[in-house]
Amino acid sequence: MSEQFLLTLACPNRPGIVAAVSTRLFECGFNIGEANQFDSTETDRFYMRVAFDAAKPDASIDKFRATMAELAVKFDMRLDIVAGAARPKVMLLVSKFDHCLADILYRWRIGELRMEISGIVANHPRETYTHHDFAGVPFHYLPVTRDNKAAQEAELWRLVQSTGTDLVVLARYMQVLSNDLAAKLSGHCINIHHSFLPGFKGAKPYHQAHARGVKLIGATAHYVTADLDEGPIIEQDVERISHRDTPDDLVRKGRDIERRVLSRAIAWHIDRRVLMDGAKTVVFGN
């Protein structure tokens, strides 16, 4: 099989975009394997994701990049073209609760998450995670207090830059990022919130849900913004509960939801299936 590539684009909506992209793929010797598109009537913008590979021996990805650059000017496009097998560098941030970290490591080791882990950053010491196999994965202990938060985030940002990290994942990292760091990581930082947003934001959402007597609990993976738990939502899931469930039961059941929601969000981001649409996302699900 020939190498696969992924094209993603966003631009103001107008007729002729799909025809123009398809024509240039054909002219450069490529075949479309999968195509998804969406017209946002609310923002009047067009979104597209195309998986393609060579249909002819002389297919040229460089030629296609050049002709798409010309098209980007014509249609005012924001576009990206990457190799389908590319393995983005992902940094995992974690606190005491490590169930999401364990799940991500497992899925990564079996090849389900196509990525390279650039490091694990924790605000708890390495001894907290003795039951995990971190072999080959750099571990960084960055404790944080009210007094050293600015310095701790500066070191965190230095690690992100020095490792060439493409995506930061808050795998139940129980620290609120500063507005400055959230802005630097805009569109490149995913958080898992242990609640079905926009309900029950902030601390102890399962206890909040129990106090309200809800019949469904959930989890939400979203991009991080300066506004706490307000970032564009990528994925959510729920599970039914009953009046017999205690807050501890909700926490236990919630762990399973959190794991699967976060892993799906990471996989879709890596596979270029998530495009920003203002305060929302367009997700071309697998």
Domain of 160: which CATH number? Answer: 3.40.50.170
Alpha carbon distance 35, 22 (integer Å): 10
pLDDT of 187? 94
180-189, 213-222, 231-240, 267-276 — which is least confidently predicted? 213-222
pLDDT of 197? 52
Name the residue range of residue 29's domain: 4-83
Same domain, 58 and 93: no
Same domain, 73 and 174: no
Which percentage of the chain shows pLDDT scores above 90? 77
Total structural domains within the chain: 2
For the question of whether the overall pTM of this predicted structure is more than 0.75, the answer is yes
Same domain, 179 and 119: yes
Q: Give the CA-trace dihedral at 148, 150, 153, 154, to 10 degrees.
A: -110
Mean pLDDT over 97-114 rounds to: 96
Joined tokens for residue 261: 């929601």
Same domain, 25 and 105: no
**pLDDT reading at 227 higher than 70:** yes
Same domain, 75 and 117: no
Same domain, 193 and 67: no
Same domain, 20 and 62: yes
In sequence order, which residues have a C-beta less than 8 Å from that of residue 26 and are 6 or more positions away? none
Same domain, 250 and 119: yes
pLDDT of 196? 61
Same domain, 67 and 199: no
Which positions are annotated as active-site residues?
Answer: 229
Write the burial class of residue 1 (CB in 10 Å: 0-12 exposed, 13-18 middle, 19+ buried): exposed
Same domain, 79 and 125: no
**pLDDT reading at 1 higher than 80:** no
pLDDT of 143? 96
pLDDT of 216? 81
Joined tokens for residue 131: 């039951």
Residues forming a β-bridge with 9: 48, 79
44: left (phi over 0), alpha (psi -120 to 50) or beta: left
**pLDDT reading at 199 higher than 70:** no
Same domain, 97 and 74: no
**pLDDT reading at 258 higher than 80:** yes
pLDDT digits (tens, 9 = 90+) for 27-82: 999 999 999 999 998 899 999 999 999 999 999 999 999 999 999 999 999 999 99
